[in-house]
């Protein structure tokens, strides 16, 4: 592996990690050229990750004590299998720490969690231009779901359908 491997660890995020999580959300948005879309606050993160009904979970990756990456995930559900799935919303490693296998180690951690929780599958979306990530995903055996199109309803259109 590499000389940093023995200094690498993954931990489950706690409420005290909210500023770190928010910083990574901003870094990811910048990388994905979507910075203008980030509206989340520390209070919203606290409520949605650590409030009475947590909607997602976060893991943080550390090298020699410094946080170098994060992943945010939640469970979806397969009606055909009658089992949960693990949906990876975001995974990000600081650019200067890429190429060390940290992203793959986070994916392995999540795969283990999915197996422990009796999940039928792990799924995520990737931007079509993000070839480095696509290459990693293909290398671990993930397959693109080319026959499916993701639809999104948001903002005024969501409110319209809800009758609000």
Asked if residue 2 has pLDDT above 90, the reply is no
* Distance between CA atoms of residues 26 and 21, nearest Å: 9
- Each residue's pLDDT tens digit, 92-141: 999 999 999 999 999 999 999 999 999 999 999 999 999 999 999 999 99
Architecture of the domain delimited by 5-162: 3-Layer(aba) Sandwich (3.40)
* Distance between CA atoms of residues 5 and 94, nearest Å: 16
**Which residue among 31, 102, 109, 137 is the active-site one?**
137
- Each residue's pLDDT tens digit, 4-50: 557 999 999 999 999 999 999 999 999 999 999 999 999 999 999 99
**Looking at the DSSP assignment, which residues form a beta bridge with residue 58?**
72
pLDDT mean over 81-93:
97
Predicted TM-score (pTM) of the model is 0.92
Q: Where are the domains of the chain?
A: 5-162
Helix/strand/coil (H, E, C) string of 132-153?
HHHHHHHHCCCCCCCCCCCCCC
Alpha helices in 3-154 (DSSP H): 18-31, 42-50, 102-116, 131-139
Question: Would you mind telling me the total number of residues written for the chain in this entry?
Answer: 164
Whether residue 87 lies in the annotated active site: no
């Amino acid at each position: 592996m590499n000389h940093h491997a023995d200094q690498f660890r993954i931990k489950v995020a706690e409420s005290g990690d909210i500023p770190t999580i928010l910083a990574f959300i901003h870094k990811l948005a910048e990388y994905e050229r979507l910075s203008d879309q980030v509206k989340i606050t520390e209070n919203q993160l606290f409520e949605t990750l650590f409030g009475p009904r947590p909607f997602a979970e976060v893991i943080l990756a550390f090298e020699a004590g410094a946080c170098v990456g994060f992943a945010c995930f939640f469970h979806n559900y397969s009606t055909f299998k009658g089992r949960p799935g693990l949906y990876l919303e975001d995974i990000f490693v600081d650019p200067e720490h890429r190429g060390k296998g940290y992203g793959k180690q986070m994916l392995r951690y999540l795969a283990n969690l999915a197996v422990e929780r009796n999940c039928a599958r792990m799924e995520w979306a990737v931007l079509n231009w993000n070839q480095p990530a696509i290459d990693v995903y293909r290398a671990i055996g993930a397959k693109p779901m080319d026959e499916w199109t993701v639809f999104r309803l948001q903002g005024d259109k969501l409110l319209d359908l809800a009758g609000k």
